[in-house]
Structure 1
Amino acid sequence: MRIHNFKVGERGLNRFFGPLEARIMDILWARPGSSIREVQTALEQDKDVNFNTVMTVMNRLVDKGLLGKTQKGRTSLYQPVQSREAFMNDQSKELSQELVDEFGTLALNHMLDALDEADEGLIERLEMKIKQWKKENE
């Protein structure tokens, strides 16, 4: 599933979604199988959000392939198609590939420069990944 609008200046889910979409996805990752009314109630803790607005956004997320929708009687229940972890993994993989495709070694050099601020565990995992990649590509 490809997200077309990556926002560089944002953080977390707001890099991929609008603010309301991000809040809805967070709620549904925490409570999969929720109805529109249940999501709206959870959103009201932050601020008043109209039922029709929540319904429209959730159905757009279904159209984008991010949410699944099932019927239980007359009530529609929504659940994320992927876990939050799988979604973030897929998006970071696609973004990394696009950066390497477009900027090549520049992107890789900048990623390595960013390791100056990384913890030792991350660097060790990267070294293991490089060794594994070399072994598989010999």
Structure 2
Amino acid sequence: MPRKKQATFTDGELRIMDVLWNKGSASVREVTEELSQKQKTAYTTVMTMLGVLRDKGYVAHEKQGRAFIYFPLVDRMQARRTALSDLLKRFFDGSPTLLMQNLLDDERLNEQDLAALKNRIEHFQGDES
């Protein structure tokens, strides 16, 4: 039976997906080398996690020579949208307003961030008229 596809990635899965999104495709060895630049990572751990991601339907692989080359089946933007939707449902009763209010109340946004948010809101208000 295939693994249940979760709405969000674990931290380890996300690190592997970041490598695949950045490279487009990679072998287990290439992913391991990339991850090991920041934190030592075992080849067998990466191989196991890529298998889990494959079973969940997030990556696929093809054989090239002696190696399997893995590539993402979901793009980064799609993953962000799915994770944000899950966050909204789980913590903010499905309300984008509650999420934004929480961000504005709890996060230290600089003037550039606030100006960018204001511009984005004005852009969406212009689309509605």
**With structure 1 as the length reference, what TM-score do the two structures score?**
0.65
Q: 1:25 to 1:113 in 2, by over 3 A?
A: closer
Task: Name the Cα RMSD after superposition.
Answer: 2.9
Q: 1:44 to 1:120 in 2, by over 3 A?
A: closer
Which amino acid in structure 1 is aligned with residue 37 of structure 2? Q
Unaligned runs of 5+ in 1: 5-15
Unaligned runs of 5+ in 2: none
Structure number with the bigger relative contact order (C-alpha 8 A, sep ≥ 6) is: 2
Q: 1:60, CA displacement in angstroms?
A: 0.4
Correspondence list, 1:40-51, <5 A = 40-51=32-43
User: Partners in 1 of 2:84 and 2:98 — Cα distance?
Assistant: 17
Number of equivalenced pairs: 119
Percent identity over the alignment? 29
Q: 1:131, CA displacement in angstroms?
A: 5.0
1:126 and 2:121 matched: yes
Which residue number corresponds to residue 49 of structure 2?
57
3-state DSSP of counterpart to 1:119: helix
Aligned equivalent of 2:76, options 81, 84, 87: 84
Which residue number corresponds to residue 38 of structure 1?
30
